Structure 1
Amino acid sequence: MKKETLQKRIKIANDIMYYVYTHIETHIDIDELSQDFGVSKYHMQRIFKEAFGRNIYESIKSIRLQKASNLLLTNKYSTISNIANMCGYSSQSSFIKAFKERFRMTPKEWKNGGYRLYSNWILQQSKGAMQSTADFSDVTATIVKMPIIQSYYIRNKGYNTKNIEESWQKLETWVLSNNVKEYQEIALFHDNPTITPLDECQYVACIATKNEVNSDRLPKFNISDGVYAKFDLKGKKGDFLRFMNWVYHEWLLSSEYETTTKPSYAIYHKNKYLSDDKEFDLSFYLPIQF
């Protein structure tokens, strides 16, 4: 496949995902979407699945249910019917059915404490997280407005440490090969690992450069601008998943903010996947609204 064709396909896939994130509360018509992007419905579905590992319908469903799972906890005065509408469901019954299929419980059971059981089940998939004794009681948030961040990236499906380490090694090689002097290492989280099985999570390793790099080796996309809660955090293996659990199910619930459908991300000051001691120093950005 020609490089320019590959870049075009990747851009279409990323643009579709961005559209889904920003219109998740509406009815998303795949036929209209294919017309807007100037490609056939079949071709659009194929290039999206090649990029993200699942089709557009599956992604829409996953993003809607992730949003709903958070709104059920943070939007205390909304009914289940209200939340179903906010997440793009045409009826309460279809929402309850989809929610129960995904989380093994009803939305009401989720609100009444079931979310803790589910997130603990996710944590048990990580030996490091189960061994972590990290305490976040002194961690505080700063509310910031972040700009769009253009980045070059490698996408990973699942939290397989070896694969992620290899991706960061490739990015480090790319940085050195292109003599990039000023850049940031960023991890983008398309899925919330507090409520998504770790082997299904999308982890995107990104290099954000100050200047454009004349290289077609890596695809690029924009990390969304917006209002974020920023947390500064240091730790070691397993601590970060514990932190994610805390930030979504403790800090967020007591803050009275709601998270949005935009992906969260972390800017590494010390990257655990590239450091000999496997420790990290990062700033985590959680998209919020009030």
Structure 2
Amino acid sequence: MQKKSTHNLHMQIANDTMYYIYEHIDTDINIDDLALKFNISKHHFHKIFKEQMGINIYETIKSNRLQKASNLLLTNKFSTITQIANMCGYSSQTSFIRAFKHRFNQTPKQWRNGGYKEYSTQILRNSELSFYEKPNFDDIDVKIVKTKARPAYYIRHKGYKVKEAKKIWQKLQAWKYTNNINDYEEIGIYHDNPAITPHDECFYVAAVIPKDDSGLENTNLPHFYMPESLYATFDITGKIGDVLRFIQWAYHEWLPSSGFETTTNPSYAIFSKNQFLEEDEQFKATYYLPIRYT
């Protein structure tokens, strides 16, 4: 059994690697350089990552590239397939098309022309978090905001399951009490779009942003900075699972007709009422959708 200090170090390495992948998804990510950054051998680096994340690092990089591309193909209608491939780290359109077809059983062009609809519908139908009923969100108010960079302390978990999500948020709740944090925001971060990614493959990130983190002492939680960026925001309410249907609508319907395009930044929800900590499993949140002006 690993010592706690070793486990915490390995967890930090794996989480820092995931953050690096998200931040540099448009580049040729060099595993040798990453291992050198952490001052460990390449073999040990692979072993640590696989133990912590349950998937090897090469598959993680490929999966993230394709998930980001699947979003951009829907929302960035003025970008060519080659441009989208480049935005997600592919230098060759041929290799991108081959990898995309292997993952989604259709070409990027077929996906863009409507193939995503049935694929996404099946993802939500197969989820324990959602019964597939499609609400009408067309009358929801939209605001455009620019956020500031802020530190977020988080727990990452693979898979969207209610029981596990509740445990994660309870651990974060205990962390807040231990550190006497009274002024904070609770955030669910969707690096993996749950409307188009099988839920057993999604990494769910639950995070807390303290208003003041200068006095934190009792923490071994990893943290990163939420990026300064441009977002469309939506105030939403509902029960567990409804967030997923909203994300589907935001990416598949609102964005393509909005005049904006999206970026490779993740979307996220700030909860003023957290469904995983409430007995009635109801939530109240503001959803942040990354956009760019075109």
Give the TM-score normalised by the residue count of structure 1: 0.91
Change (3 A) 1:39 1:225: farther
Equivalent residue number for residue 81 of structure 2: 80
Q: Is the 8 A contact 1:132 1:238 kept in 2?
A: no
- The more displaced of 193-202 and 30-39 is 30-39
Q: Aligned-pair distance for 1:54?
A: 1.9
- The more displaced of 268-277 and 25-34 is 25-34
Question: Aligned partners of 1:61 and 1:126: how far apart in 2?
Answer: 23
Question: Aligned partners of 2:175 and 2:20: how far apart in 1?
Answer: 29
Q: Is the 8 A contact 2:144 2:233 kept in 1?
A: yes
Question: Aligned partners of 1:49 and 1:225: how far apart in 2?
Answer: 31
The reply on whether 1:285 has 2:284 as its aligned counterpart is: no
What pairs up with 1:100-119 in 2 under 5 angstroms?
Answer: 100-119=101-120
Question: Aligned partners of 1:142 and 1:5: how far apart in 2?
Answer: 45
Equivalent residue number for residue 204 of structure 2: 203
One-letter amino acid of the counterpart of residue 61, structure 1: K
What pairs up with 1:84-233 in 2 under 5 angstroms?
Answer: 84-126=85-127, 129-212=130-213, 213-233=216-236
**Identity of paired residues, percent?**
54
Q: Is the 8 A contact 1:187 1:203 kept in 2?
A: yes
Question: Aligned partners of 2:6 and 2:225: how far apart in 1?
Answer: 20
Q: Aligned-pair distance for 1:108?
A: 1.3
Q: Aligned-pair distance for 1:169?
A: 1.7
The reply on whether 1:276 has 2:279 as its aligned counterpart is: yes
Question: Aligned partners of 1:217 and 1:11: how far apart in 2?
Answer: 9
1:265 equivalent among 260, 263, 268: 268
Q: Is the 8 A contact 1:7 1:219 kept in 2?
A: no
Q: Aligned-pair distance for 1:82?
A: 3.0
- The more displaced of 152-161 and 38-47 is 38-47
* Secondary structure of the corresponding residue to residue 131 of structure 2: helix
Q: Aligned-pair distance for 1:251?
A: 0.8
Gap regions ≥5 residues in structure 2: none
* Secondary structure of the corresponding residue to residue 204 of structure 1: strand
Question: Aligned partners of 1:40 and 1:241: how far apart in 2?
Answer: 39
- What's the CA shift string for 1:136-158, capped at 9, x where partnerless? 11123222121223232222211
Question: Aligned partners of 1:234 and 1:276: how far apart in 2?
Answer: 15
Equivalent residue number for residue 68 of structure 1: 69
- What's the CA shift string for 1:87-112, capped at 9, x where partnerless? 22232221111101111111111111
Question: Aligned partners of 1:228 and 1:177: how far apart in 2?
Answer: 32
Gap regions ≥5 residues in structure 1: none
- The more displaced of 250-259 and 35-44 is 35-44
Question: Aligned partners of 2:230 and 2:79: how far apart in 1?
Answer: 23
How many residues in Structure 1 have an aligned counterpart in Structure 2? 290
Change (3 A) 1:35 1:63: same
Q: Is the 8 A contact 1:14 1:221 kept in 2?
A: no
Question: Aligned partners of 2:87 and 2:210: how far apart in 1?
Answer: 36
Q: Aligned-pair distance for 1:217?
A: 4.6
Q: Aligned-pair distance for 1:227?
A: 1.7
Q: Is the 8 A contact 2:77 2:256 kept in 1?
A: no
The reply on whether 1:44 has 2:45 as its aligned counterpart is: yes
One-letter amino acid of the counterpart of residue 18, structure 1: Y
One-letter amino acid of the counterpart of residue 284, structure 1: Y
Question: Aligned partners of 2:283 and 2:218: how far apart in 1?
Answer: 29
Give the TM-score normalised by the residue count of structure 2: 0.90
One-letter amino acid of the counterpart of residue 117, structure 1: E
